[in-house]
Amino acid sequence: MLLLALDTATPAVTVALHDGTSVVAESSQVDARRHGELLLPAVDRVLTEAGLRLDAVTGIVVGVGPGPYTGLRVGLMTADTFGLALGVPVHGVCTLDGLAYEARDVEGPFVVATDARRKEVYWARYDNARTRVTEAAVDRPADIAPLVQDLPAVGAGARLYPDTFPDARGPENVSAAALAALAAEKLAAGEELLEPRPLYLRRPDAQVPKNYKVVTPK
């Protein structure tokens, strides 16, 4: 097994290779505006570090979000393209689940919250690093405060709103290494992973104008 994992659902552009036992190489850069520019060089960097070619990959793992429309689709389209070119399966993993898995040192129930912009967070509650007990959702922090204030919280969204998440902890952004390790563990156990389809939770910012005037030539 050699999994190529990538995620662009948070400000981090993150890529990793996992051989089914451990991470072989990884790269993460935080830049919310350059996902498309940074992703392919990061893939090339981890392959070079591992001394491997792309055709050695046996599967692709991609974070499906939730996340902003533009950044999220960069990773998903790249994953789909690699899968088609290599003839290998593409596995989806919820980005919040990857963050939760990376927070394995948190004991007991906790919350994962990432920045959804518009003064909102993407969030979910977990019993432990492997067990999500709510669906991923997008809400204003104040609206969910009664549900989360008594719990530790990981993710950049938690750090942005200390009144709602008083016990905010790292990591802030997901790592592809965590996504790959979680996917490898699930695959080894015979568990099904998600389809590589975007988990947007809300409409994109760009909208077709309503009642726009149609101009036709005379």
pLDDT tens sequence across 19-71: 999 999 999 999 988 999 999 999 999 999 999 999 999 999 999 999 988 88
Residue-wise pLDDT for 58-112, tens only, equals 999 999 999 988 889 999 999 999 999 999 999 999 999 999 999 999 999 999 9
pLDDT computed for residue 213 by the predictor: 54
Residue 209 has pLDDT above 90, yes or no: no
Share of residues in the chain with pLDDT > 90 (%):
86
> CA neighbours within 13 Å on the CB side: how many for 12?
24
Residue-wise pLDDT for 177-204, tens only, equals 999 999 999 999 999 999 999 998 875 5
Residue 214: pLDDT band (50, 70, 90) is: low
Rounded CA-CA distance 62/150 in Å is 31
pLDDT computed for residue 32 by the predictor: 84
pTM: 0.90
